Amino acid sequence: MARSFRILSALLFAVGLSACLLSPIQATLRPESYWQVDDVRPGMKGIGRTVMHGTKVEEFDAEVIGILRNVNPGRDMILCRLAGLNLDKTGVIAGMSGSPIYIDGKLLGAVAYAWQYGKEPIAGITPFVQMDQFVAAYERRDVADRERVKRIGLANPLDVQGKRYDQVTVSEDFREMRPTSSDGLWMVPLRTPVASSGMSTGSLAVLQDQFNDMGMVPVQGGAVSVSVSEQDRISALVPGSACSVALITGDFDLSAIGTVTHVEDKRVYAFGHPFMGLGACDLPLMTGYVHTIFPRQTLSFKMGSPLREVGVINADVSTCIAGWLDRTPDMFPYV
């Protein structure tokens, strides 16, 4: 166990060092393919895409109920009510981070925030236009300087579960918050399930303590079984598909599970919120397989496993993670 943590510590040190060495590369996007925040209005309806089991991308419904301006410098949030795929029972699911929302065929953004303990699946959507802007600039300012909690007034009050809300509290901190009834709608970033294999329950307990403030939830995952079809194993990354970011590979495996928001040529965007807020980085990007949904009263999460390496994550900024297909990251060899 000690050896695995030394490997992880060395990896994270190298990832941090790479932030000083790597230079950003921009992808060419078509502005007509995604929404500008100024053009979004409450009442607009669309669809979202995510994986609930295996590698099959399924659709759910989404309706815009509000727009929050200046959640952080240069950042807005779009509130949506989700429906379908049993979300009325599970609520918004950790692991859905990055699930794309489309309105009239145009990309709105990525599911990234949730209302814990809420009886309706209300999600905070990170606008894709800002995901792209922050990746292009490798923006890290508001990751380091963000406020823990910010209360934002609404120009148009929301009616949710028979109550009217005229403000929303947004937390940018993964540490456990204790909202009161006076806080109204309280949006928190979706935590990232981190699937492990080859580790004991004691190791997972240590990881839980270390990762809690970073928004990661270590779960016993294991590798996919031999019964998984060849079609699943060779599945490509598309908007809505499960993706994985590897921290450790080999005898031990530790991989974050999330969802792909957009693929432009070989540029991939995912999560809709930071992973570890590293800025420039160099981590393996892998396809993912979802075993099941683990429902909880606080926040349900996906249990999944990585499948195969398909590229590299080279940007971990405040609005998302992003990377490139068909590239190979530098990894520490097992010694």
Binning pLDDT at 50, 70 and 90, where does residue 233 land?
confident
Tell me how far apart the alpha carbons of residues 182 and 306 are, in angstroms, rounded to a whole number: 41
Tell me how far apart the alpha carbons of residues 25 and 136 are, in angstroms, rounded to a whole number: 7
Higher pLDDT pick, 100 / 24: 100
The one-letter code for the residue type at 253 is D
Residues 49-60 have a mean pLDDT of: 96
Binning pLDDT at 50, 70 and 90, where does residue 49 land?
very high
Of 29, 10, 8, 17, the C-alpha closest to 261 is 29
Binning pLDDT at 50, 70 and 90, where does residue 334 land?
low
Task: Indicate the range of 64-78, 136-150, 208-222, 286-300 predicted with least confidence.
Answer: 136-150
Q: How far is CA 121 from CA 67, 185, 237, 259, in A?
A: 16, 12, 26, 17
* Structural domains for the chain: 2-25+191-325 (no CATH), 31-189 (2.40.10.10)
Enclosing H/E stretch for 88:
helix 87-90
Q: What pTM, to 2 d.p., does this model score?
A: 0.84
Q: How far is CA 35 from CA 107, 208, 308, 311, in A?
A: 6, 38, 32, 27
Q: What angle do CA 279, 306, 195 make, to 5 degrees?
A: 80
Tell me how far apart the alpha carbons of residues 10 and 14 are, in angstroms, rounded to a whole number: 6
* pLDDT of 208 over the 80 cut: no
pLDDT of res. 3: 43
pLDDT of res. 226: 67
Residues 114-132 have a mean pLDDT of: 89
Instruction: Name the token pair of 88.
Output: 């009325």
Average pLDDT value over all residues in the chain = 82
Q: Which residues contact 105 (CB under 8 A, 6 or more apart)?
A: none
Asked whether the beta carbons of 61 and 44 are under 8 A apart, the reply is no
Residues 316-321 have a mean pLDDT of: 92
DSSP classification of residue 236: P
| pLDDT tens sequence across 65-108 | 999 998 887 889 999 999 999 999 899 999 999 999 999 999 99
Tell me how far apart the alpha carbons of residues 317 and 223 are, in angstroms, rounded to a whole number: 29
